[in-house]
Structure 1
């Protein structure tokens, strides 16, 4: 089987693509895999690092509103579709798998013209333009969240990194938790809040939780805070930085998840999928841009009791004191929320998606 995987621009598109590629190769090392991406996106670095070949197409943003870019779209798209068609021919693709983003539309158009089956994977609860188009022609459409409005959608969950799945399936989570805390320089026996805005950080989370550091520590909670590269957390001079630990970036997020009892974070599809897979409740603060997909990603989990949802503009010190502190310092409440979160977790999204890819290729 030969597969063209198309997705790029952000880690949200590339991470499930790579997890799927890895699963296909583990099933059959002879599987031919080519990844379609751009030179500007994170795929230009992450795909070769993982050992896969990257075929480049021109970046073609899809304008959401009438503009001069909309007039230039047909010409730009023709060039991108031609590049995608060459990639399909180079790998002799039996199936094209799209994960959304700028490169997915050219891949879908080229596959349709070449008569190659299409499989779509949509990460968000509210689908983007590219996958709404691809789903019209797809042999199979996979979605991360049940109820995603795409025709014929099959719920597969998110293809996850192997280290996250290993944590989700770990037989002794308590021992893993103590070891993870010790490895991060934290007290193995103290309730732990993880604050993260992803690799780029989230300044709102940095400012609000940094301002509440004294309240958190006084309540007997320790904090591991990943602030993002080039960013910082404004801590008062008297804050004990051995108990409020700030890192720019955490290379091993599975270790951070293992150490945590509660996570304050954005609600990208990957984050929600990872937290539910490992059974961690979240304080979800959706990114206040886009079409509202981050809020939709977290709504069902939160409605079931698997966390708390707060708008970016409403996250302040008063919210942390009234909603976050009572949860993170109450073992019974944390256990209940963790069980609710785990009820939404999918550990084998890569297997489920690989099944659809192989069926489409046949």
Structure 2
């Protein structure tokens, strides 16, 4: 019997933290079922119109409906906005004849899932953060198909699978590619490398602490690959301290490094665990503790350190981090412990679940 290709609508937008796992899942779905018809929902707010077309998927726009985490006056305007967004999402679901909707949180997930509910379409949810957002908390009440980054995520019906990542990350062999990666950035292949990054926008605290410790790091024979973010600058006076505003393919930076100082967004934690790169996580201090929770499993396993934003100083790097950076045995042990917390196959696991659900609905041609 000839069965038509599955039609999957992916809803996860606004921030890279929602879009990236959604696109990684879509890539895995297409690898497993090349004929799959995948449509992404997004809004004009955020990074949707930049990141999603760049990954090669058709993008349909719906009106954004930010859901406030707390009861504010903004709640009064949500019903009318939400109705409009649900209508638009429903029209798109009808046009593409969707078999299943997969929500990753953010502004588009709630309207898409509610539109799917109206049409009795199956809904699949993935939550990347330890503390779920409002959209996924609501959507998880509509479906038994709920997948999470960690067993610590509290969502009804939640099954922990990890976060969908790119194969360039999950397939990275750091030891085998280390020398080539270091030469790519103009680094010595033999001396240890500290990766410093504050994410795509950079982080003032991290930039200041690392650059302030430059002399001590250089004296200890530690090289630095410092990704400042496009809006930040750091002066470097030594070729062993490499400064870049942005790195597009982070797998090369991970391969070059022995240790990282970084924020602890959900994607960052998942990627470092997948490649086994130990880190000093510096959670954002103004996100209600979400980033601290994201780092918790890796820190508890012994694969990372946790340092408060206010405590990250050049002195902390010199007294706490340098002894680790110059101890190959300890670095190797932390790398193994970080790797043990990773979930490199989350993209494929989620894609298989979605294909199974879609197959139950698809009629023969």
Q: TM-score, normalised by structure 2?
A: 0.94
CA contact (8 A) 1:140 1:360 kept: no
1:355 to 333, 352, 359: 352
TM-fit CA distance, 1:59: 1.3
Looking at structure 1, the residues matched to 39 and 16 of structure 2 have their Cα atoms a distance apart, in angstroms, of: 18
CA contact (8 A) 1:142 1:156 kept: yes
**Residue 95 (structure 2) pairs with residue 90 (structure 1):** yes
2:271 to 260, 270, 274: 274
Q: Report what 2:363 is aligned to.
A: none
TM-fit CA distance, 1:63: 2.0
TM-fit CA distance, 1:337: 0.5
Looking at structure 2, the residues matched to 323 and 352 of structure 1 have their Cα atoms a distance apart, in angstroms, of: 38
Q: Report what 1:53 is aligned to.
A: 58
TM-fit CA distance, 1:136: 1.0
**Residue 296 (structure 2) pairs with residue 299 (structure 1):** yes
Looking at structure 2, the residues matched to 73 and 221 of structure 1 have their Cα atoms a distance apart, in angstroms, of: 52
Looking at structure 2, the residues matched to 263 and 146 of structure 1 have their Cα atoms a distance apart, in angstroms, of: 25
SS at 2:195 equivalent: strand
CA contact (8 A) 2:301 2:341 kept: no
TM-fit CA distance, 1:46: 1.3
Q: Report what 2:129 is aligned to.
A: 124
Looking at structure 2, the residues matched to 87 and 218 of structure 1 have their Cα atoms a distance apart, in angstroms, of: 60
CA contact (8 A) 2:68 2:134 kept: no
TM-fit CA distance, 1:112: 0.9
Alignment of 1:155-170 (within 5 A): 155-167=160-172, 170=173
Q: Report what 1:37 is aligned to.
A: 42
TM-fit CA distance, 1:137: 1.1
Deviations 1:71-91 (A, max 9, x none): 111111111111111121111
Alignment of 1:250-269 (within 5 A): 250-269=247-266
Deviations 1:320-345 (A, max 9, x none): 12211111111111011001001011
**Residue 15 (structure 2) pairs with residue 18 (structure 1):** no
Looking at structure 1, the residues matched to 176 and 162 of structure 2 have their Cα atoms a distance apart, in angstroms, of: 28
CA contact (8 A) 2:7 2:98 kept: yes
SS at 2:101 equivalent: strand
Deviations 1:235-273 (A, max 9, x none): 5xxx31x10100000122100000000011000111011
Looking at structure 2, the residues matched to 305 and 273 of structure 1 have their Cα atoms a distance apart, in angstroms, of: 15
**Residue 241 (structure 2) pairs with residue 244 (structure 1):** yes
Root mean square deviation of aligned Cα: 1.2
TM-fit CA distance, 1:234: 4.8
SS at 2:171 equivalent: helix
Q: TM-score, normalised by structure 1?
A: 0.95
SS at 2:225 equivalent: strand
Q: Report what 2:221 is aligned to.
A: 220
TM-fit CA distance, 1:360: 2.2
SS at 1:185 equivalent: coil
**Residue 184 (structure 2) pairs with residue 183 (structure 1):** yes
1:75 to 65, 76, 80: 80
Q: Which runs of 5+ in 2 are unaligned?
A: 1-5, 361-365
Looking at structure 2, the residues matched to 80 and 109 of structure 1 have their Cα atoms a distance apart, in angstroms, of: 10
SS at 1:34 equivalent: strand
Looking at structure 1, the residues matched to 245 and 194 of structure 2 have their Cα atoms a distance apart, in angstroms, of: 16
Looking at structure 1, the residues matched to 178 and 249 of structure 2 have their Cα atoms a distance apart, in angstroms, of: 14
Q: Which runs of 5+ in 1 are unaligned?
A: none
SS at 1:272 equivalent: helix
CA contact (8 A) 2:42 2:62 kept: yes
> How many corresponding residue pairs?
354
Looking at structure 1, the residues matched to 133 and 52 of structure 2 have their Cα atoms a distance apart, in angstroms, of: 23
**Residue 299 (structure 2) pairs with residue 286 (structure 1):** no
Looking at structure 2, the residues matched to 76 and 244 of structure 1 have their Cα atoms a distance apart, in angstroms, of: 50
Looking at structure 1, the residues matched to 354 and 284 of structure 2 have their Cα atoms a distance apart, in angstroms, of: 32
Looking at structure 2, the residues matched to 65 and 144 of structure 1 have their Cα atoms a distance apart, in angstroms, of: 24
Deviations 1:254-308 (A, max 9, x none): 0000000001100011101110101110110011122321110111111111010
CA contact (8 A) 1:9 1:42 kept: yes
